[in-house]
Amino acid sequence: MSGSGKTTLVLESLIPGLEKYISGGKLPEHIKRVSAEGIKHVKLIDASPIGINVRSTVATYANVHDELRKVFAKTADAKEYGYKAGDFSYNTGILRCPTCDGTGSISLDVQFLPDVDIPCPDCRGGRYSKKTESIKYISKEKKSYSLPEIMGMDINHALEACRDLNVVKQRLQVLKDLGLGYLTLGEATPSLSGGEAQRLKLASEMGHRQEDTVFVFDEPTIGLHPLDVQSLLGVFQKLIDNGATVIVIEHDLDVISNADYIIDMGPGGGKEGGEIVAAGIPEKIASCKKSETGKYLKKYFI
């Protein structure tokens, strides 16, 4: 229930308590004891936007772009013209689109009105100069792609195009596993939805052991499409498979019913809240007469 004390318990007590436990500092006054053997990291993954800079894209954020630049610098075309990896940066490289300076959009100055951003007429949002389109990477299957072409692909298609490039392929696969296969590599991260931003933030966390890490998600399903909720549950499972501890503050029953352990706060909100009504595995909560959450959980277990 809203105002039952979930935020106080997790965001204002557990997280600061764990942080002090890890750093060895003095616990916040209201926390008596923290016992979390082996935990070295606590990470709050929220749905706030990633950056405000249009120069941050899915490809740069997920460390795919740096790898692609190295790949393109090694192509026969790049060698012929003398281009190095740095030249393929759309931020500072000489191959960036001169019209939009590599941002992919330009500001129209309309008199008496606020500026309007439109896609760059020269690179059509691709961020690169015409010249860049003639520098091709050739796959083992003899298919050729330019960097702006790959940046214009969604992750599913880019995976196909980059199947011979081990590092790029691995990083793209992580994004696909996070349910983000439909995102375009060149998409600016500030334009992503909260749910997309939330999952993209986990990209660097996947694929290695996480026994020493607690991840906290604060109402992660707000605004998510039911299919996205399923992707998110898959992501939680991957983190858990990697050994991580996942703590989720949530109202959504589909998420709650998937938990291994539930702490039901209540019994009401505000003055009526702040108590642990029931705690245990979902089946136990579902059969607990005192628990309001339990009443709604019954349909999942009985």
- Sketch the per residue contact string, 218 through 257, with Zn ion: x for CB under 5 A, - otherwise: ----------------------------------------
Whole-number minimum distance, CB 106 to Zn ion, in Å? 7
The owner of tokens 């503050």 is 249
The amino acid present at 3, given as its one-letter code, is G
Whole-number minimum distance, CB 107 to Zn ion, in Å? 12
**Residue 285 found at the interface with Zn ion (CB under 5 A):** no
Q: Which of 99, 134, 166, 237 is the binder for Zn ion (CB under 5 A)? A: 99
Whole-number minimum distance, CB 90 to Zn ion, in Å? 9
Q: Which of 42, 97, 161, 214 is the binder for Zn ion (CB under 5 A)? A: 97
**Residue 42 found at the interface with Zn ion (CB under 5 A):** no
Nearest to 261 by CA among 276, 283, 243: 283
The amino acid present at 243, given as its one-letter code, is G
Nearer to Zn ion, 34 or 54 (CB): 54
Q: How far apart are the C-alpha atoms of 249 and 265, rounded to whole Å?
A: 10
Q: Which 199-218 positions form the footprint of Zn ion (CB under 5 A)?
A: none
**Residue 122 found at the interface with Zn ion (CB under 5 A):** yes
Q: How far apart are the C-alpha atoms of 284 and 278, rounded to whole Å?
A: 9
Q: Which two tokens stand for residue 231?
A: 């992707």
DSSP state of 184: B
| H/E stretch holding 42 | strand 41-45
What number of chain residues touch Zn ion (CB under 5 A)? 6
Q: Partners of 216 in the beta sheet?
A: 44, 247
Q: Which residues bind Zn ion (CB under 5 A)?
A: 97, 99-100, 120, 122-123
